[in-house]
A and B are shown apart, each in its own frame.
Chain A
């Protein structure tokens, strides 16, 4: 767990994520590549076993993200979600991910894939569900 936290922290420190004007309550997305545009997700406290939505924003206006993929899993339980989500682009570099259902309490790892000019950026974040 400590190694995993250090791994996440190293991504956070080495990426351009720190430059993103993230709203105070937003969740910073941790990119796996240094050159990935900074990104964050905005959501209310995820309800347990009920659908909810989040907004995902990519900060670099020079890189227009064309598509977003989303998935989530519980590493400790070795399972993912029982539903696929719906993703819709609501503005340049801004997407809504809806019908997310975290059906068990605990730590969920969020996985994002963003497509830009034939390249794919991946991001992760974590959220605790009560």
Chain B
């Protein structure tokens, strides 16, 4: 009899414990299902088939050194790291990038860039190595041309490591050298991966049914997550484990430029993509099957592309202020208020019907910010 009483007692305690833990997970079944779609994290490491030195340790080491080497700028005054500062989460903390002059867009951080569909705010490139060509060859950024970059590399201490990867440089065309340098840089940059955050711990606990562990996730973050996947409509675009759908949307941020004119965003990005010889459909891709080329071949130009910009990942976003393509919003609270009080006049009248003022209270906004911060605490 005694053991029956003890067993009942143990069961009651277990049930009490379970009930107490569950009480601290406030998400509905539907919200839990939505939460699970934002993981698991980190994703499996996938090498870039269009880059033959992707994953190569020699290339990664050389890429890391070149990333901070002033020889990558024509006048030897700046490097990749000048804007993408490793000490500042590979961005610069400025509203707009400072190259040889102030550029029109915010410097994006470099986390989790391996094998995405598009790169840059307007998706000018369909591979990481092709994206690296933009700053290398832009007169307002690193300012090289193919010949000057080749000459700089030939004269540098990096020539032996480069030749170990790609062979003798003597007969190599300058364009080949330039693309190879961009591929070495890509081999390094694609190793920059963010880690597991407290959100991921929460998500994994939900996935395994460990409600006691899940209940350790702060209630304010859970309330913010409910807004994120619910009435905030954030997860429409910030979807999946990386919190981005990798595509382009109009976020009602003004696209007028200080110097006059406008930033056409994705509309210009598609134009550049179509003109570029450096796409996954081109001869510089090392993937003989051209498996990734479907995107550039099938991308569709639409009126709504004008003023649309790529949806950024939210992982480590709390560490990479300021925000939006022009860096016009100084902190996460400002971003939340931007969407909370969104100016519908700034959206295309015939464009997407997704954004609308959210009507968040001050507490809601704080909760949403608390949630966003849990994507950056790895």
Contacts and interface: CB of A to CB of B under 8 A. Distances in A.
Nearest to A49: B245
Contacts of A79: 304, 351-352
A104 B294 contact: no
A76 interface: yes
B280 to A, nearest CB: 13
A19 to B, nearest CB: 35
A52 to B, nearest CB: 12
Interface string B27-47: 000000100010000000000
A78 B353 contact: yes
Interface stretch (B8-16, B232-240, B370-378): B232-240
Nearest to A51: B294
Interface in A36-87: 48-49, 51, 76-86
A86 B351 CA distance: 25
Nearest to A129: B239
A104 B298 contact: no
Size bracket of the A interface: 20 to 34
Interface residues of B, number: 23
A84 to B, nearest CB: 5
Contact of B299 (A48, A82, A130): A82
B41 to A, nearest CB: 16
Contacts of B351: 78-79
B245 A86 contact: no
B239 A84 contact: no
A48 B239 contact: yes
B246 interface: yes
Classify the interface of chain A: helix, strand, loop or mixed. Answer: loop
Nearest to A130: B37
B239 A104 contact: yes
Nearest to B247: A103
Contacts of B239: 48-49, 104-105
B101 interface: no
Contact of A84 (B236, B247, B300): B300
A79 B248 CA distance: 12
A82 B354 contact: no
Given A49-B245, A49-B247, A103-B245, A82 B240 contact: no
Interface in B276-301: 294-295, 298-300
A82 B247 contact: yes
A104 B248 contact: no
Contacts of A86: 294, 298
A106 interface: yes
A77 B245 contact: no
B208 interface: no
A99 interface: yes
Contacts of B304: 79
B247 A99 contact: no
B245 A83 contact: no
B219 to A, nearest CB: 26
A23 B240 CA distance: 31
B299 A104 contact: no
B361 interface: no
A105 B236 contact: yes
B302 interface: yes
A78 B352 contact: yes
Interface string B241-266: 00001111000000000000000000
Given A48-B240, A49-B245, A76-B353, A83 B298 contact: yes
Interface string A87-115: 00000000000010001111000000000
A119 to B, nearest CB: 27
Contacts of B300: 80-84
A105 B235 contact: yes
A104 to B, nearest CB: 5
Contact of B236 (A51, A83, A106): A106
A76 B353 CA distance: 7
Contact of A99 (B236, B294, B354): B294
Contacts of A99: 294, 298
B356 to A, nearest CB: 12
Interface of A: 48-49, 51, 76-86, 99, 103-106, 130
Given A79-B351, A105-B236, 16 more contacts: A49-B240, A51-B294, A51-B295, A78-B351, A79-B352, A80-B302, A82-B300, A83-B295, A83-B298, A83-B299, A85-B298, A86-B294, A103-B247, A104-B236, A106-B236, A130-B33
9 contacts: A78-B351, A78-B353, A83-B295, A83-B298, A84-B298, A86-B294, A99-B294, A103-B245, A104-B245
